[in-house]
Amino acid sequence: MSMGPMIPPFGTQIILLLILLLYCVSRTCTCHGYVERKLRTRDGSVPVLVRLPEIDVCSKLRSLPRRSHIVSIDEFGGIGDGKTINTHAFQNAISYLSSYAHKGGGQLFIPPGQWLTGSFNLTSHLTLFLDKGATILASQNLGDWPVVDALPSYGRGRELPGGRHISLIHGSNLSDIIITGDNGTIDGQGQVWWELHANGSLDYTRGHLLELMNSRDVVISNLTFINSPFWTIHPVYCRNVLINYLTILAPFESPNTDGIDPDSSSRVCIEDCYIENGDDLISIKSGWDQYGMNYGHRSSKIIIQRLSGQTRSSAGIALGSEMSGGISNVYVVNLKLQHASTGIRIKSAQGRGGYIKNIYISDAIFHNVRTAIGFTAFYGEHPDDKYDPNAFPHIHSIYIENIQGDNISMAGDFQGLKGYPYHDIFLRNITLNATTTSQMWNCSFVEGYSESVSPEPCDELLRRQHTQEYCSSCIEKV
C-alpha cells in the first residue's frame, strides 16, 4: 500500500514555521526577496538589520531559449578575412531575423574568422552567437561609428559636449536579447580612439563596445571582450540583465576602459567574470548631476558574485561618480583583486544629489592594492555650470565584511562633506597587512562602527551613531 507524504498537524506546522523565522532572524538568510544580515552592536544592544535583494534575482535568465531560425553571417555576404567591411551584412542579417521575433526568435551565427564591421543594431528575440575562433572586429574608421544623441540622464556626452559615438553593438527598447558563444571575441581595436583622446582630437565622446538601452531580459555570456574604445559593456535603463562567464581585457594604460557599468538599471547579475583593464572593473552609475536627478532612474538590485581581475589606476568595485539618480540594494560577494588603486570605492560630489545606500560587500581578497576602501565626496567633474551646488549626495548604510589584504598602502580613506557625512558605515572582520608604518586610516565626516578590524580604524568608525534610524530606513521593498 503506497503512502502519501506525511503532513504534520496544523499546530506542528506553526511551531516549525516559528523555528524557521527565528533561524532567519539570527543568521544571514533569503526570505521573501531579501538577504537579511544581523549585526549586533559593540555593546550587544539592538542589532542592525541589513536587507538587500535576494541573491538569485537572475535565475530565470540562465536557461537560454532555443531559437526557431538560425542563419550565418556568411549567408548575407559576410567575409571573415579581417579586411572586408561587413556592416551591411550584419545589418541585413539582423533585419531578416527580426521577422522571426514572434515566431520563436532568430539566431545569427558567427563562424570562425575575423569579421570586420562598423556599428550595428540588434533586434528583440535575437541570439548573437560567436563560435570558437570567431572575432567581431571593430572598424577603426570613426565614420563607421555614427554620432547619436546624448543620454538624457547625462545631458551631453560623458567626455565632450554634444552627442556621442554609438557603441559597436547597440540596441534600444528591446527584449529577450542574448549575446553569447563558445568564447568568441569582440575586439574594439581601441588604440586609435585612445590616441585621439590623448591628443584632444575627438569631437564627440567615444563609443562603448556594447550598449543596450531601455531593454530587458538580456544575457551576455561566454565571450571575450577586448580593447574597447571607452566603457566596455554598458546596460543603461535596463532591467533583468545577466552577465556571466566573460573575460574583459584592455591595456592598463588605456583610458576609461571600464569593464561593466550598470547604469540606471535594476535586477542586474554579474557573475564569474575576469576583468583586466585601464579603469574600474565594475562601476555602478545612475546619471550625472541635474540630468540624472531629473531623469530619476536609479540603479538597484545589483548582484556581483565571483569577480576577479586587476587594474593599475582604478577600483575593483566602484559606485559613482555619476550617481544622481540613486544607487541602492547592491550585493557584492567573492571579489579577488590585485594591483589596483582602490579595492572598494564610492565616488560622489557636491552637486550630484542622489544617494548610495544599502550596500553589502563581503568575502574579498586584495593583493597590492593602494587603498583598500576609499570614499570621496570630491569627485567634482560636472557636465556644465547649470548644476545645483546645494544638491548634496546622501551616502549611508554601507556594510563591508570579511576582507583580507596584503601589500596594502592605506586601509581606509573617507573624505566626506561637512554637514552631509557618510553615516552608518559598518566594517567587520577585516584584516589588512600594510606595506608601510604610516597612517593607515584617513577619516573626515564619516560615522560608523567596526568589529574585528585590523589595523584598528579611526575613532569616527568606532562610534555607534544613527543605529536605530538605519534599522528603520533599511527596510525598503526591493
Q: What angle do CA 276, 281, 286 make, to 5 degrees?
A: 155
Check 263, 279, 280, 413 and give the catalytic one: 279
User: Of 122, 409, 92, 153, nearest to 293 (Cα)?
Assistant: 153
Residue type, 212: L
- Would you state the cell numbers that stand for residue 474, as one nine-digit string? 533599511
| 289 is a catalytic site residue | no
| AA letter at 259 | G
Q: Please count the other Cβ atoms lying within 10 Å of the Cβ belonging to residue 306.
A: 15
Cell 571573415 locates to 80
Radius of gyration of the chain, Cα coordinates, nearest whole angstrom: 24
Grid coordinates given for 270:
554579474
Between the alpha carbon of residue 312 and those of residues 309, 346, 347, 368, the distances in Å are 11, 17, 18, 10
Report phi then psi at 324, rounded to 5. -70, -20
* Length of the chain, in residues: 478
Kindly state the cell numbers that stand for 46: 539592538
What's the per-residue H, E or C state across the chain? Answer: CCCCCCCCCHHHHHHHHHHHHHHHHHCCEEECCEEEEEECCCCCCCCEEEEEECCCCCHHHCCCCCCCEEEEHHHHCCCCECCCCCHHHHHHHHHHHHHHCCCCCEEEEECCEEEEECCEECCCCEEEEECCCEEEEECCCHHHCCEECCCCCCCCCCCCCCCEECCCEEEECCEEEEEEECCEEEECCCHHHHHHHHCCCCCCECCCCEEEECCEEEEEEEEEEECCCCCCEEEECCEEEEEEEEEEECCCCCCCCCCECCECCEEEEEEEEEEEECCCCEEEECCCHHHHHHHCCCEEEEEEEEEEEEECCCEEEEECCCCCCCEEEEEEEEEEEEEEEEEEEEECECCCCCEEEEEEEEEEEEEEEEEEEEEECECCCCCCCCCCCCCCCEEEEEEEEEEEEEEECEEEEEECECCECEEEEEEEEEEEEECCCCCCEEEECEEEEEEEEECCCCHHHCCCCCHHHHHHHCCCCC
- As annotated, the active-site residues are 279
